[in-house]
Structures are given as structure tokens and as C-alpha cells.
Structure 1
Amino acid sequence: MSWQKYGGKTSISSSFSCLCNKALAQYANRRISTDLSRRGFVAGMAASMLSVILPDLARGQTTNPPAAPDRPVTFTNFMLFDGKSSTLRHGLYLSVDGNRIGHIGSGQPPSTGNPMLIDCGGRVMIPGLIDMHWHSLLAALPIQVLLQVDMGFVYLAASAEAQRTLLRGFTTVRDAGGPAFVLRQAIDGGMVSGPRIYVSGPMITTTGGHGDFRPLADIPRSGGQISQMERDGSIAIADTEDEVRLRVREQFLQGASQVKLVGCGGVSTPRSPLDMLTFTQPQLRAAVETASDWGSYVLVHAYTPEAIQRSISAGVQCIEHGHLMDDKTAAIMAKNGTWLSTQPFVDENDAASLTGPAREKFMEVIAGTDNMYKLARKHGIKTAFGTDLIFSPVLAARQGVMLTHMTRWYSPAEALTMATAANGRLLALTGERNPYPGKLGVIEEGGYADLLLVDGNPLENLDVIADPEKNLRIVMKDGRLYKNTIVA
């Protein structure tokens, strides 16, 4: 997998997109098509995806993200889920000034000023959703394409998928592995439409750990040289405590909000069985201490009890996945106040097509999902919601569907709270490295103006979230209206 870092990235999509003009779009189209034609079977796959993933780019059509409203916005006639309460509030109005929620009051809004008034027609307003395990550069493309195409195509696909992510109602994501620094910069700069991104940088792993996709020709490491994959930013390999400290510092140097380490094997990496362990406890502790020196924290990819317990002993504050945990491990997590950031994988529809060992490993993960959530509830573990949907634009579109899976273990209100306010609390662990230090995941005065207006009541039927094109009538992020089907 080759990750190249250079500026001027382009994002095109069906509504709001990127920074390029028609000539640049046509050039990119020609360049990608020519470059892909030299890559055998990948050429046909990637070229056909150009019209699916980047339809406006293929036609040379571009638009810009919406401008900030030129006056305050006031919403009336809605029912409010604020991210914390288990019931809806009625009879309110809400004002947005700039990128923040200005005032939430009862009754009718004051007649002073000249706000943009939006009558919500009695619909339900909820906070923007948060996905705590998203891979911005991996979501939209099959792994065969990612491993072989020019990185320009990957960034184009990622920026288009970023817009779709936002229009699904996910106004914030935590990127759990990949060089998404440039994409975040483009989104924050108003050049590309997409969610806020809490970037981790490349996964830090050991030789042979999950994420080590290097060809065997790159082994052994010698003379201090690193592989092309590491230079391009797809992975960061560390095999000593000093290397761990260096890799962690490198990610914060580039602007990471938090860093991710791999504690055991993974599903998609062919030569890493789930039961293998990677970093030693002192190595994990070196990462935790270094992240703390930067004012932030470490999340660790860990499925098994051994990997989870080793991470907690090293001071890790957030475990990713955890599907194979046992009762003893769950009790330790609860006692230490460790976050469980996990995904409700329930069947094979929750992953791209898998075969061989990868499928066997994913089936093992699926088999552990029910027990994991039951243990989390039993012990009162702080639990966050994420999706980890990768390698397919069709699969990525199931973000909302994944949230509906949570009703197997939680009420709709509990699931929504997890995907909003609870996730917002976990994001706040970034401390001094928090790129968005305002309140996220809640609707309250002074919080970021990330708002969704929903047809139907998600506290009674969470399935309305699974069809965002139909049921999300307004998508506001940072005070800007990215979707508005209500006449103001």
C-alpha cells in the first residue's frame, strides 16, 4: 500500500465538493485512467469505479462546500434529543450563531434581529453522529485497488467518500489508521465537504503485526532503513521501546490527535493470527508515556483477553474491538475505567467479501460480538460506538445500519447517546491535542452547531437512521447547512 503526501488534493461528489476547477478535474481523470491502464486487472476495476465513486470528477463538474449563513439561523417547531436525555423535549427554539449553538429557549423566539427562520414541522432534532472507528482513506476502495493504484486516486476517492459520510449524518469521525492529515486539512479549510476528523496517523505495529502488509522482499529490516510502505505513511513499524517512542512522536509532529498501536493480530492482514501478541508491556507503556507527554492518549487494537489485559497494565485508556474478551477482562476494564471502542459486527454483511483465513478470523470476531456487549453491560464498561467499515463504497454506506444493530443490546436512546454524547467524551481524551475543543455530540448552548433533523422518531425506531437520504432532512455541521430539504 503506497501513501504519498502532497498538497492540492481534489474531492468531487454529487452535491458539495472540492477545490478543483473543470480543467484540473479533466486532467485528473486522464492521469488516473492512464496510470491505471498500466496495472493489469486493477485498471478495469478502478476505472469503472471512477464513475461510481467520483461521478462529478468523471464529468468535469465541481461545486464548492456551502458558505456559512450570512445571518443567524433559528430553528422552531421541533422535538429535541440533546444527546444525553432518554426522552424528547418539546416547545423549544434553537438559535445558531456562527459555528456554535447560541441559545435554546422555550416558546417562540424573540422577534429582534433578522435570523433565518426554519420551521422543522414537528420533526426530531438530534446531534450530529460520531463514528469512533473510521478509516477515511480505506472506506471507499477495495484492498486490491489500494495496494496498487496511484495515491492521487485514493485521495480523490477518500474526499468523495468524506462528503457521503457527512450526508449520512456523521459529522465527526475518529480515523483509526491512515495518513488522513491532508484530508482533514482540506475539510477544515473549507475546500472539501466532510466530517471533522480526529487523525491517528498510520497504525503503529510490530514486524508481523496487524497492518504489516509489506512484501517478504522487504524483510529483514537492516541498516536503519524502512520500507516504502512506512515512508509513504501506510504503516509505522516499531520493534523496540525507543522505536515506539519515535513513531509516536512522529505522528504528533504531523498533527495527530491521538495515536493507535496494534496489540494483536487482525482480520485483514494475512500473516497475523488473532491470538498473536505484538508489543510487550514496557513497549506499550513507552507509547502511553509519550502520548501523555504530548497531552493525549493511545488507543490499542486488541481482540483477545491477553492483548487487552497487557494494554491495560501499560496504562492504555482505550481498547479498540475487544470482541473476544472474557469476564475477567471485562471486570478489569471496568475497574480501571478503560474505554471499549467497538463495533457491532453481527454477520458477514458487515464486512467486504472475505475468503480463506480472513473469513475464518472475521467469523470468530462475529461469534464474540454478543458476549462482548453483554459483558460490557454487566460490568458497566464505558463503551463507544464505531463501524470499521473498509474496502467497499457499498459497505461504507451502511454506517447508519451498523448503528441500528446496537438495539440488540441497548435501547434506541442508549444507542444514540453512545453515538453522540458518549463518543464526544471519549474524543475529549485528546486533551491538549484536541483540534476541536468545543462540545461535540450534544445539543447545548455553546456546543458546536452539528445538527440533524430526522423524519420519524429515532428514540422509538432507530431504523430511520439507516436511510439518511430519505429521513435526514437537514444536515448541519459547524453551523453550515450541507443538506436542507426544509423551506426556510
Structure 2
Amino acid sequence: MPSGKFRGVTTANLPYSCFCNKALAQYANRRIGADLARRGFLADMAAAMLVTVVPEFALAQGNASPPASSPVTTFTNFRLFDGKSASLVDGMYLIVEGKRISKLERGQPPASSSARTVDCAGKVIMPGLIDMHWHSLLAAVPIQTILQADMSFLFLAAGAEAQRTLLRGFTTVRDAGGPAFALKQAIDTGLISGPRIYPSGAMITTTGGHGDFRLLTDIPRTTGQISAVERTGGSAIADTADEVRLRVREQFMQGATQIKLVGCGGVSTPRSPLDMLTFTEPQLRAAVETAADWGTYVLVHAYTPEAVQRSLAAGVQCIEHGHLIDDRTAEAMAKNGTWLSTQPFLTEEDVAPLPPSGREKFMEVTAGTDNTYKLARKHGLKVAFGTDLIFSQALATRQGTMIGHLTRWYSGSQALRMATSTNGELLAMSGKRNPYPARLGVLEPGAWADLLVVDGDPLQNIALLADPDRNLKMIMKDGLIYKDAMQS
């Protein structure tokens, strides 16, 4: 792009005009190597969305990317939920320097040249929320559109939804399947605003498994043939151990932080009953071993005891969903130290409209939700929180509502710990592939400066998070303020 100005922003300063930075060089390489739709995504989005989605501070500097050093911000007169404690703490002050928290101590802050002091007037400061099962490109668009629209439209819609996700207080998401790599790059370089993303890349499945959305005219499949659905990067089909290794390595080549495999049928895939099994144990193990070679882990979509037990035997460290597990399976998960990353689905309000076959499967899943959480508590499982809200912009707004569902089984502080520090522990399992190595989900010195200022006590009234427009007075991520309804 030639140098010039676009709505007051100097195009010579845009993130993709110079590739001296390693992250930007990776971004450029990915852009060059991607298909036409992906190549067009960032350029289109820069023109269409730049002014509305970039933090005000960045635009004030005449640069679309965050500044090299963020201003120092001091918070005073607040009640603290640090992501770990069972109750609020008073009498603290917190200082943010750059992208991290530098001090969190009792008493009054020392005299300094802080660029800004925020008097919270007794409001609650807490860590930014984390959603461990989010689909960045699927969250706000109906499935019919996803299967038919140009990928450029889906990326633009995902960029807009990323901003809304951040403004709901979710500063980090783990993307559980989809081509979110370019979106992550756009957020990380400051081109658009949104939560930090831990991408899984294409969810890897088998012929006929959940995520195989091919038309019947696309079969029989020829070895090495890639379907139109696979070319979008949403899913990848593998029917042998060697194909599994190939598909896993392809996701890591694109920047995956962990790998998503499908272990059984799914609600939204029309030809995959929940009770079907996909990969054999050796095939699952091939993925686990390959992920370990890359220093990270595998998560497996699995509802049934059979699918979970097969995954455990293969060494899988994180089970997604698990709504139909039994006591024996939960006991085995506890013995192995396996994570349960599940979603508190309660009613049809927690899902986009489904055809009759999908609705029947979803009702079977929701019928198992209560038992799953009770088994998790009984056996002391490590439980992560996610929402898996897809195919509806209206449904996506229920992220905070879903946290409230957890109070059927947990106290308010336990639910909030799950959505902050506990989820942060699971994110850290990405190990050598972790692009954000400081602590997430906690407020402590050295942690990422991701925080919310809440008007009210969310430990006592977790429903406050269901109305972020009204109750979240400030949203900070990486030390930058993305929403400010406070007065200095």
C-alpha cells in the first residue's frame, strides 16, 4: 500500500508496511501464502473497520498498532478480586506499566509521574474473562451463511464480533476450531481490537465425523483430495495415523497453540450421531505424540464415556464437552489428571436454532449437563469454563449469562475463578507454543494487564456480567483501555 493518509491515519505507519518485527514478518508470510480470500481479509478490514475498532489511544498517536510503551496507569479505591481468592480484598492499589501489572500492594500508591490515576470509587477490579471454547469465525454468523458465503465476508464478520467479544469483558479466548490465524495476527498487531486468541486451527476429524460438512456428491474421497470445506480451514479430514500427523503438523505450521481433534459425533453436523466414534486409539495417540513434539497438547471433542475413555487411553490431556460421561469415566479422568473443558448448557436458549435432528442431539447433551458437573465435583476434576456459542450474533451476547449458569453447582467466587485463573492454567499448557507466556486470569505483579472494573460485586451477583454494557465500567487488555466509562 502506498504511503498516505486514511481518515487521519498515516498508511506508512500501518502494521503491514514494515516487516522489521518478527511477529509482523510471520504475519506477512502467512498473508502471502494464504488463499485469495485470506489475502484480501486484512486489507479489506483495514479500510472498512480501522477507525471504529482500534483503541482510542492508538488512533490518537496516529498509528494503528499499540504504542511500544503504554502509559503508566494507577488504580486506587477499589475492591479486588484477583482471580484466586474466595472474597474481595480492600485497601490495595494497582499500577500498570506497559502491558503488565507492575505493582499490587496495600496502602496508598507512592508519588509518581503516572500518566493517569483511576479512582474506582469502591468498584470491583477483577481479571479479564477467558472463554476456553470459542469459535471466532463461527460465533456471529448463521451456519447457512458460513457454508455459502465468501470467506472474506466471514473474516470481516469475525473482526466485528471480536470487538464485541472484548467489550463483553472477554480478554482471551481459546479458539476451538477454525481458521482464526489471520484474525489473531490482526488483533496482535493492533490492526483491530479483540481478545487474544489461542488458535487450534482446523478441527481434525474423520470421514463422517463431526465437522465433515461435505455434500454427498463429494464422496467417495480420493486419497490426497481436499474438499471445499477443508480448503476454508474450518476442518481437516484424516483417516489414518499418518494423515493425522500431517494435519496436526499443518496446523502448527500455521501457528496453532494446541490441537483440536473430534472423538465422536456432534450436534451441528447432520450425519454424525453422538454415539459414533471417530479415531482409533493409535490414531489419537499419533496426534498426542505429534503435539508433544511441538511442546503442547491435544483437546478432544467427546461427549460419551466410550469416546472419553479412548481418548484417555491415548494420552489426551483435555476433554471438550463430556456431557454424557458416567461415574467410571469421571474417576478415570481424575486419576489421569485430565482436564474437563465443558459448557453449562441448560436450555434451548443456549443454542442457535437447529433442525430437528440437531435439536434432538442438543437436548440429549443438555440433559447430561447437571450430572457432568456433579461428577466433576465428586471426583475433583480440573474443570475449565467455555461457552461454544455459535451461529448467532444474538446468542454470542450470552457469554456472561453462561458464567451465571455455573452458580447451579458453584459459588460465585468459584465460578469466577473458573472463568479466570483456572482457565489461565489450562491455557498455559500450550507450553512452548504459548504466544502469551505471562500469567493470564490473575491480577498480580508480572501478569498481563487484563482487567475489568465492575459496578457492583460479581462474587455476590454474578448476573452483573450478563449486562456488560451497563456494569463493566472499564475494560483493559495489554495495558490499553478499550472501554472507559470512569472519571479520572
Q: Same fold (TM over 0.5)?
A: yes
Over 3 Å counting, the alpha-carbon distance change for 1:172 and 1:61 in structure 2 is closer
The equivalent residue for 1:473 is 473
Tell me if 1:19 matches 2:19.
no
Tell me if 1:7 matches 2:7.
no
The equivalent residue for 1:48 is none
Offset at residue 355 of structure 1 (A): 2.5
Offset at residue 459 of structure 1 (A): 0.8
CA contact (8 A) 2:53 2:163 kept: no
**Helix, strand or coil for the counterpart of 1:7?**
helix
Distance 1:452 1:290 in 2: 38
Distance 1:174 1:76 in 2: 31
Over 3 Å counting, the alpha-carbon distance change for 1:91 and 1:363 in structure 2 is same
The equivalent residue for 1:462 is 462
The equivalent residue for 1:279 is 279
The equivalent residue for 1:43 is none
Offset at residue 123 of structure 1 (A): 0.2
Offset at residue 11 of structure 1 (A): 9.7
CA contact (8 A) 1:11 1:160 kept: no
User: Which residue type is aligned with residue 130 of structure 1?
Assistant: I
The equivalent residue for 1:451 is 451
CA contact (8 A) 2:70 2:480 kept: no
The equivalent residue for 1:222 is 222
Offset at residue 5 of structure 1 (A): 5.1
Offset at residue 192 of structure 1 (A): 0.7
Distance 1:395 1:4 in 2: 30
Offset at residue 315 of structure 1 (A): 0.1
The equivalent residue for 1:40 is none
Alignment of 1:174-323 (within 5 A): 174-323=174-323
Distance 1:284 1:193 in 2: 36
The equivalent residue for 2:329 is 329
Distance 1:62 1:383 in 2: 36
Q: Which has the higher mean CA deviation after the structures are superposed, 229-238 or 408-417?
A: 229-238
CA contact (8 A) 1:333 1:381 kept: yes
Q: Deviations over 1:242-281 (max 9, x none)?
A: 0000000000011000010000000000000000000000
User: Which residue type is aligned with residue 303 of structure 2?
Assistant: Y
Q: Which has the higher mean CA deviation after the structures are superposed, 3-12 or 265-274?
A: 3-12
Distance 1:219 1:440 in 2: 44
Distance 1:4 1:339 in 2: 38
Name segments (4+ residues, structure 1) moved above 4 Å.
60-63
Distance 1:417 1:11 in 2: 39
Distance 1:165 1:7 in 2: 24
CA contact (8 A) 1:168 1:468 kept: yes
Offset at residue 62 of structure 1 (A): 4.2
User: Which residue type is aligned with residue 254 of structure 1?
Assistant: Q
Distance 1:61 1:126 in 2: 28
Q: Deviations over 1:458-488 (max 9, x none)?
A: 1111000110000000000000000011112
Distance 1:459 1:229 in 2: 43
CA contact (8 A) 1:212 1:235 kept: yes
Offset at residue 233 of structure 1 (A): 1.2
CA contact (8 A) 1:390 1:396 kept: yes
CA contact (8 A) 1:65 1:191 kept: no
CA contact (8 A) 1:347 1:366 kept: yes
The equivalent residue for 2:64 is none
Tell me if 1:132 matches 2:132.
yes
Question: What 5-or-longer segments of structure 2 have no aligned partner?
Answer: 1-34, 59-66
Over 3 Å counting, the alpha-carbon distance change for 1:96 and 1:276 in structure 2 is same
* Identity across matched positions, percent: 68
Offset at residue 129 of structure 1 (A): 0.3
Q: Deviations over 1:118-177 (max 9, x none)?
A: 000100000000000000000010001111111111011100000000000000000000
CA contact (8 A) 1:198 1:257 kept: yes
The equivalent residue for 2:61 is none
User: Which residue type is aligned with residue 65 of structure 1?
Assistant: P
Distance 1:63 1:334 in 2: 43
Distance 1:259 1:180 in 2: 13
